[in-house]
């Protein structure tokens, strides 16, 4: 997969909705002198282009090559100013910042009393909405102004501001420590996936315990609790403690439902919390609660009051469709999930500038699994190739590993034996290079390599041997992750019972009365 560099200004222009483009032109046209401005002409040209073409821009005569960089920078800034003025983007966080900016201007003009009045209003708004970083900035500016303008109406003003600054600083320090811990754990998850052995577990555990700050839960505000639950969630996922992951993702979502106003102020965090709750429910196979949680999330996201913007639209597409695929995996209804393939392919194209390769490849892997469950092994292989041939994918080595293993199984099922030997060697070398050859993978490769020496009459017995061997690892602390990527046991059972793999999984789902 070749990476095509994209011009930032061009991407920004193409991301604008019709109403945002109209508003930009109204914003530019507020002064008649701008109607013939070069930056507006450049905007109109970029809006018409299908792809960024610098040669076409220069040949248009709008600008000379030496001036293009400056003109693009000016246009980029003007678009951002226009977007900032759009009522859609006027959330609480922007409003607080705006008040702080206004107060700073008043301070610089020497209008101290007016500045302090605005700052007090902005500070109250910031604290009420858990925006403690900007609240601390406001207090610091108040302190600066108080040194130049003494307000005798509040005798203890100095002590009050010093106390506020100390309290906010402590909260912000706690938030910083917890967010750093969460980010580092997330980085480990993306790089290597789950822990693979006792040494990995010890490293993660030592890091977590050394960097988790001491806290009293009742003293934590909304933002600190959010980062605390995030850190615990990543730790739980890394260590494959999926019940714990379910517990902390539930706490994450419950935190928002206990503070409903935060759903609308932090919609991205709310979406992510529900995404990880659904992932955890998938891992522990709570299918009925999974369906209920997914339906609730769809209702909330489609509500007219839920914030709407490009970023939220992309995340909603990603999380809802990924979860819908998982629901079909849980219930074994692979054929009923095929309609999602076209929806996902269209969504990937539509949101390509806002969804990273890592998440796109995860969707491709899930689609491959969907086709595998339906018995369409050629389409399964086609989607796995998108992952295996992706040279950009530097994260989630475990995804790359299991994509290759599933590809081997799909080639075998499709009767493409002529490709199997080359694939076996390539996959084995890759797993050794990644240092990710686990017992489950080893047994699968050993079985597939021996197929050429097995008589057809002996095949069922060999399937049974492999099943008995792999069954031992189903609940193994480090090997069980293999079954999260591909339900190998159900696949083997389908061969042993001469039944479709989807039917096997459906029967298992019916026995789980959760």
pLDDT tens sequence for the chain (514 residues): 344 457 899 989 988 888 889 889 888 887 655 656 888 889 999 999 888 888 888 888 888 888 899 999 999 999 998 888 877 666 788 889 989 999 999 988 888 889 999 999 999 999 988 899 999 999 999 988 887 765 555 567 778 888 889 999 999 999 999 999 999 998 888 776 678 788 888 999 999 999 999 999 999 999 999 999 999 999 999 998 999 999 999 999 999 999 998 998 899 999 999 999 999 999 988 988 999 999 999 999 999 889 888 889 999 999 999 999 999 998 889 999 999 999 999 999 999 878 888 889 999 999 999 999 998 999 999 999 999 888 766 556 667 878 888 888 888 888 876 666 677 777 777 766 766 567 777 787 777 777 667 766 777 788 888 888 888 888 888 777 777 767 888 888 888 888 888 888 888 777 765 4
In a domain, 306, yes or no: yes
The kind and range of the H/E element at 340 are helix 339-350
Q: What letters, b where the CB count within 10 A reaches 16 and e where it falls short, cover 251-262?
A: bbbebbeebeeb
> CB-based contacts of 342: which residues, under 8 Å, 6+ apart?
none
Residue 130 Ramachandran class (φ > 0 left, ψ -120 to 50 alpha, else beta): left
Residue burial 133-143, b: 16+ Cβ < 10 Å; e: rest = ebbbbbbebbe
Same domain, 98 and 132: yes
Tell me how many degrees the CA angle 351-333-415 measures, rounded to the nearest 5: 90
Phi-psi region of 148 (alpha: psi -120 to 50; beta: other; left: phi over 0): alpha
**pLDDT score for 353:** 78
59 and 106 in a single domain? The answer is: no
Confidence at residue 327, expressed as pLDDT on a 0 to 100 scale:
94
Q: How confident is the model at residue 514, as a pLDDT?
A: 46
Boundary of a domain, candidates 339, 355, 371: 355
The CA distance from 419 to 417, in Å, is 5
Handedness of CA 6, 10, 16, 17 (dihedral sign): negative
**Based on the domain organization, do 415 and 485 belong to the same domain?**
yes
Half-sphere CA count of 101, side-chain side, radius 13 A: 6
Which of 235, 250, 270 is at the close of a domain? 235
Residue 491 lies inside a defined structural domain of this protein: yes
**What pTM does this model have?**
0.81
Q: Rounded to an integer, what is the distance from CA 210 to the centroid of its chain?
A: 26
Q: Cβ distance 277 to 252 under 8 Å?
A: yes
Query: Is residue 381 in some structural domain?
Result: no
In a domain, 368, yes or no: no
Q: Are residues 85 and 104 in the same domain?
A: no
Virtual torsion, Cα 197, 412, 344, 291, nearest 10 deg: -60
Query: Is residue 385 domain-resident?
Result: no
Residue 469: per-residue pLDDT: 85
473 and 495 share one domain: yes
Tallying the residues shown for the chain, one arrives at 514
The answer to whether residue 129 sits within a structural domain is yes
Q: Please give the pLDDT value at position 1.
A: 39
The pLDDT value recorded for residue 158 is: 79
Answer yes or no: is 374 within a domain.
Answer: no
> Rounded to whole angstroms, how far apart are CA atoms 344 and 41?
36
Is residue 389 a part of any domain in this protein?
Answer: no
- Based on the fold, state whether residues 454 and 473 are members of the same structural domain: yes
Question: Are 263 and 338 members of one domain?
Answer: yes
Instruction: Looking at the structure, tell me whether residues 402 and 513 fall in a common domain.
Output: yes
Q: How far apart are CA 99 and CA 105, in angstroms?
A: 10
**402 with 492, same domain?**
yes
Chain-centroid distance of CA 72 in Å reads 30
Are the beta carbons of 78 and 39 closer than 8 angstroms?
yes
Residue that terminates a domain, selected from 219, 235, 251: 235
Query: Same domain for 117 and 213?
Result: no
Task: Quote the distance between the C-alpha of residue 29 and its chain's center.
Answer: 38
**Are residues 253 and 225 both part of a single domain?**
no
Look up the domain containing 126 and give its range: 94-155
Please tell me the total count of domains within the chain: 5
Residues 6+ apart with CB under 8 A from 483: 440, 473, 474, 489
């Amino acid at each position: 997969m070749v990476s095509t560099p994209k011009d930032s200004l061009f991407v920004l222009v193409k991301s604008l909705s019709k109403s945002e483009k109209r508003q930009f032109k109204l914003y530019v046209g507020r002064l008649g002198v701008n109607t013939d401005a070069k930056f507006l002409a450049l905007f109109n040209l970029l809006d018409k282009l299908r792809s960024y073409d610098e040669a076409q821009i220069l040949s248009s005569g709008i600008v000379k090559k030496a001036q293009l960089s400056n003109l693009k920078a000016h246009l980029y800034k003007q678009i951002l100013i226009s977007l900032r003025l759009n009522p859609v983007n006027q959330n609480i966080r922007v409003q607080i910042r705006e008040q702080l900016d206004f107060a700073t201007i008043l301070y610089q003009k020497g209008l101290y009393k007016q500045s302090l009045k605005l700052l007090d209003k902005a500070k109250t708004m910031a604290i009420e909405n858990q925006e403690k970083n900007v609240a601390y900035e406001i207090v610091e500016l108040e302190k600066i102004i108080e040194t130049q303008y003494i307000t005798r109406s509040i005798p203890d003003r100095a002590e009050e501001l010093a106390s506020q600054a100390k309290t906010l600083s402590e909260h912000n320090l706690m938030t910083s420590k917890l967010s750093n811990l969460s980010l580092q754990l997330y980085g480990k998850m993306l790089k290597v996936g789950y822990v693979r052995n006792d040494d990995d577990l010890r490293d993660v555990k030592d890091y977590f315990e050394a960097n988790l700050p001491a806290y009293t839960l009742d003293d934590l505000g909304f933002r600190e609790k959010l980062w605390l639950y995030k850190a615990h969630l990543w730790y739980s996922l890394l260590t494959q403690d999926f019940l714990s992951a379910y517990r902390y993702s539930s706490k994450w979502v419950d935190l928002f439902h206990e503070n409903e106003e935060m759903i609308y102020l932090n919609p991205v965090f709310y979406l992510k919390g529900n995404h990880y709750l659904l992932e955890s429910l998938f891992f522990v196979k709570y299918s009925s609660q999974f369906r209920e949680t997914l339906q609730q999330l769809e209702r909330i996201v489609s509500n007219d009051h839920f914030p709407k913007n490009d970023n939220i639209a992309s995340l909603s597409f990603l999380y809802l469709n990924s979860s819908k695929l998982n629901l079909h995996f849980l219930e074994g209804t692979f054929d009923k999930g095929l309609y999602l393939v076209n929806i996902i392919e269209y969504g990937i194209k539509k949101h390509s500038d806002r969804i990273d390769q890592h998440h796109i490849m995860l969707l491709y892997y899930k689609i491959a699994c969907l086709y595998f469950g339906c018995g369409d092994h050629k389409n399964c292989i086609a989607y796995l190739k998108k992952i295996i041939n992706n040279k950009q994918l530097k994260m989630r080595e475990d995804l790359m590993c299991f994509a290759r293993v599933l590809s081997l199984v799909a080639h075998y099922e499709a009767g493409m034996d002529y490709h199997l030997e080359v694939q076996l060697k390539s996959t084995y070398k890759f797993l050794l290079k990644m240092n990710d050859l686990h017992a489950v993978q080893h047994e699968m490769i050993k079985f597939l390599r021996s197929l050429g020496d097995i008589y057809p009459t002996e095949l069922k017995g060999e399937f049974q041997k492999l099943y008995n061997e792999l069954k031992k690892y189903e609940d193994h602390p480090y090997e069980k992750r293999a079954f999260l990527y591909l339900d190998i046991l159900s696949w083997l059972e389908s061969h042993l019972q001469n039944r479709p793999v989807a039917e096997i999984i459906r029967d298992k789902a019916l026995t789980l009365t959760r």
